[in-house]
Amino acid sequence: MAFFTVKDEKWIFWVVLGVLVVLAAVILWRIIAVSVRSKRAKAERIRLAVEEEVQARVEERVLEMRNEYFVLPRNVIVAVGLEGQVREGRYVLKSAVSSQTKFNIRFNGLVEEYSDGDTVFLTTDDTICAVSGAVLIKPDIQ
């Protein structure tokens, strides 16, 4: 004599199938969670590497000083602020080449033409770069 009838066996089949479906859903959810976490960790590692590279480039360049002027070499981006090479403030611009009175400067990504004696006000997180040739900058104290 059998312990279960045909009707009971169908009930057990559906219970086992339900448990397997729930188990498969939990495993799939865990796989998705782990992959999302690893993608976020990878993005964070990349962001930190880029920040370290930018910081290293800023730290490796030290501006040369001639008399009271800082020398901005051609095509070297200089950061402004507490951690940058130049402090915030107002600066007077002068061409390093005496025969050139006009020169181009990339200020926050925008290239503009300046002439000897022009002043610029630099604030935190600004960038400045001499484009056409070396430029001298001097703090404007008034």
The token pair at 53 is 């590279």
Whether 71 contacts 93, CB under 8 Å: no
Q: What is the pTM of this model?
A: 0.54
Give the CATH number for residue 128: 2.60.120
Q: Considering its fold, how many domains does the chain have in total?
A: 2
What's the rounded Cα separation, in Å, for the pair 13 and 81? Answer: 70
Tell me the per-residue pLDDT of 114-123, one tens digit each, with 9 for 90 and over. Answer: 999 999 999 9
pLDDT at 1 over 70: no
Which residues constitute the domain of residue 56?
1-60
pLDDT at 58 over 70: no
**In this structure, are 101 and 132 located in the same domain?**
yes
Tell me the per-residue pLDDT of 16-39, one tens digit each, with 9 for 90 and over. Answer: 889 999 999 999 999 999 999 999
Which pLDDT score, from 0 to 100, does residue 53 have? Answer: 76
**In this structure, are 70 and 132 located in the same domain?**
yes
pLDDT > 70: percent of the chain = 86
Q: Residue 93 half-sphere exposure, CB side, CA atoms within 13 Å?
A: 26
Name the average pLDDT for the chain. Answer: 84
What is the chain's percent helix, strand, coil content, to nearest 5?
40, 30, 30
What's the rounded Cα separation, in Å, for the pair 105 and 98? Answer: 17
